[in-house]
Structure 1
Amino acid sequence: MRPRTVLVFALGLVLLVTGCGGPGKTPEKAAAQPSVSAAPTPSASPKPKPTHTAPPPKPKLRPLPKKLPAGLHRRSGSPGVALTFDDGPDPRYTPQILAQLRAAHVTATFCLVGKQAKRHPELVAQIVREGHQLCNHSWRHDVDLGRRPLAEIRADLERTNRAIHAAAPNAPITWFRQPGGRWTAEELTVAKQLGLRPLHWSVDPQDWDHPPAKKIIKRVESASHHGSVILMHDAGGDRTQTMAACRRLIPDLKRRYGIIRLR
């Protein structure tokens, strides 16, 4: 081998050993800086669309008759007037009315809501014990009860009777009064089948609207006459004004007409 060739070969060998043979990195350096590979992106699963369940359609109700059906009781059956109290019993006001009636030695008719009778059976028993009459006033004061199917009307009245009789087992329930006076012929049919007489009114002082006691008194005194059936309330809201009005009306009506039991 020629000296020149030997020299070139030796230089190449030195460069290879020292790693100066090119711009590339040595294997050790490459290992010290590992390449970072991109993490795989998870595929996003589509969110389920919310489902909206339509509410069941409301049952169609029968239309109300253009006029009240025949056969409703609006008279007391004697020269005296009849007092009726709706929507109870109520622990705030029913005892007040009972005390006023007891002081005047007269009786009234209490039109009881089934749910209230179930909540306050002791008041139902007291009403009966003190000689007052009972009237079925529906289970929950459903003003549209008469527009519902016959089976539903019957179930409502029977449920109310059961609640009343649970408190006063042997008490007769003579009457039925439709809440709001929105009577239908179907309601009268069911009431008759259950032995209940349909009770309306002839004097409505609108005490359900919470007028002042003076206005309640004026309305009752101006509209009452012999044989009137007077509608009042001992529950269903604030009856403070009704209580105040009755303190004057009960003795006054007794003096003018007499207060009697319904016949």
Structure 2
Amino acid sequence: MLSDRHTSRRLLLVAAGMSLLGVAGCQGSQGADGGSATPGAEAAGAASDGPAAAPASAAPSVPSAPSASSVPQSAAPSPVSSAPASSAPGPAASGSPVAAPRPVAAAESKPVYELDAERRVVALTIDDGPDPRHTPTVLALLEQYRIRATFFLIGENAAVHPDLVREIAARGHHIANHTWTHPDLRNLSDARIRDELERTSDLLNKATGKPPTWFRAPGGDWSTASLKIAADLGMRNMAWSVDPRDWARPGTAVITDRILKDVRPGAIVLNHDGGGDRSQTVAALKKYLPVLIDSGYYFTAPPG
């Protein structure tokens, strides 16, 4: 009888131990499914994606004069070459998660006015689209000359023409943020600035599956708040060094002459495909692009 009691007690202890092991095993396996992974596992997963940039801790001052940028370019671009369409981010599938932006360090939030002046490169930037009248023609020209450009899109235009947004991305061009309504950011509250930038970034992210990593203030009118908010949203700020003032429609010859006169190695050229009649800009592109190519310039887009 005593032996039977000892045997029963031993069986109960074994059963309890197996139950505890089963619970521990379930808890340890939840990390792979997004449950309660241990801090060490989360750290290891983050390390595999590379270190994220530190968030902006202080509002940077707005520079009063253009200065050279430290934008890295690890390899010389091929002559007049753009990224093939297959390398461009495709549109996000319906209902699929979009990529999360990484904050930009405060030191990198100041506007970039030019690229590496030691190399014969030009960055072509196109503002205020997409526009159904002029954007397709600009895209055809860039494809003809195998040039990759950066398109700074206005959110409300992108919302009306999402197919054009996807077409720009599919052709390998860089898509960037130019606010939702093109306001003067210096006159807006911090909350309004954030809304202008965040709405546009969210829309472009959903359309292409990739958050924009560059921002341009309308008119180049940055504010201390807009610089910080853009950095918080994972965007660096891009200005320009060559402005033909094509938005004022001074004439095709004037636009062409201003660009060819002012362009230099590392230049960032400002043009527009939206915001009005841009037929003069399109005509100027047809004239000055082959001249720059024949002069030995390479076209590039800043790293995303």
Question: TM-score scaled to structure 1, two decimals?
Answer: 0.71
Residue 238 of structure 2 corresponds to residue 199 of structure 1 = yes
Residue 180 of structure 2 corresponds to residue 139 of structure 1 = yes
1:115 paired residue number: 156
After TM superposition, give the deviation of residue 261 of structure 1 in Å.
1.4
Give the counterpart of 2:299 among 245, 254, 259.
259
1:69 touches 1:184 (CA, 8 Å); kept in 2? no
The residue type paired with residue 197 of structure 1 is R
Residue 122 of structure 2 corresponds to residue 81 of structure 1 = yes
2:128 aligned counterpart, secondary structure: strand
2 CA distance for matches of 1:80 and 1:204? 16
Residue 227 of structure 2 corresponds to residue 188 of structure 1 = yes
The residue type paired with residue 189 of structure 2 is P
Give the counterpart of 2:199 among 148, 159, 164.
159
1:46 paired residue number: none
Please give the residue correspondences for 1:1-263 in structure 2 after superposition, counting only pairs within 5 Å: 67=64, 71-77=110-116, 78-142=119-183, 144-168=184-208, 170-256=209-295, 257-263=297-303
Q: Structure 1 pair 174/79, CA: closer, same or farther in 2 (3 Å)?
A: farther
2:91 paired residue number: none
The alignment yields a C-alpha RMSD, in angstroms, of 1.9
After TM superposition, give the deviation of residue 147 of structure 1 in Å.
3.2
Q: Which moved more, 1:98-107 or 1:251-260?
A: 251-260
After TM superposition, give the deviation of residue 217 of structure 1 in Å.
0.4
CA displacement 1:229-255 (0-9 Å, x = unmatched): 000000111111111000112222233
2:256 touches 2:284 (CA, 8 Å); kept in 1? yes
2:127 aligned counterpart, secondary structure: strand
1:207 touches 1:216 (CA, 8 Å); kept in 2? yes
2:246 touches 2:272 (CA, 8 Å); kept in 1? yes
1 CA distance for matches of 2:155 and 2:284? 26
1 CA distance for matches of 2:63 and 2:167? 39
- For structure 2, the 5+ residue unaligned runs are 1-61, 68-109
- For structure 1, the 5+ residue unaligned runs are 1-64
Aligned length: 198
1:81 touches 1:253 (CA, 8 Å); kept in 2? no
After TM superposition, give the deviation of residue 68 of structure 1 in Å.
6.0
The residue type paired with residue 190 of structure 2 is L
Q: Which moved more, 1:106-115 or 1:244-253?
A: 244-253
1:97 aligned counterpart, secondary structure: helix
1:39 paired residue number: none
After TM superposition, give the deviation of residue 211 of structure 1 in Å.
1.3
After TM superposition, give the deviation of residue 141 of structure 1 in Å.
0.6
After TM superposition, give the deviation of residue 69 of structure 1 in Å.
9.3
The residue type paired with residue 174 of structure 2 is Q
1:203 aligned counterpart, secondary structure: coil
1:116 aligned counterpart, secondary structure: helix
Identity %: 42
Q: Which moved more, 1:144-153 or 1:209-218?
A: 144-153
After TM superposition, give the deviation of residue 66 of structure 1 in Å.
9.4
The residue type paired with residue 64 of structure 2 is K
Greater radius of gyration (CA): 1
2 CA distance for matches of 1:261 and 1:66? 23
Q: Structure 1 runs of 4+ off > 6 angstroms?
A: none
Q: Structure 1 pair 159/172, CA: closer, same or farther in 2 (3 Å)?
A: closer
1 CA distance for matches of 2:144 and 2:63? 42
1:81 aligned counterpart, secondary structure: strand
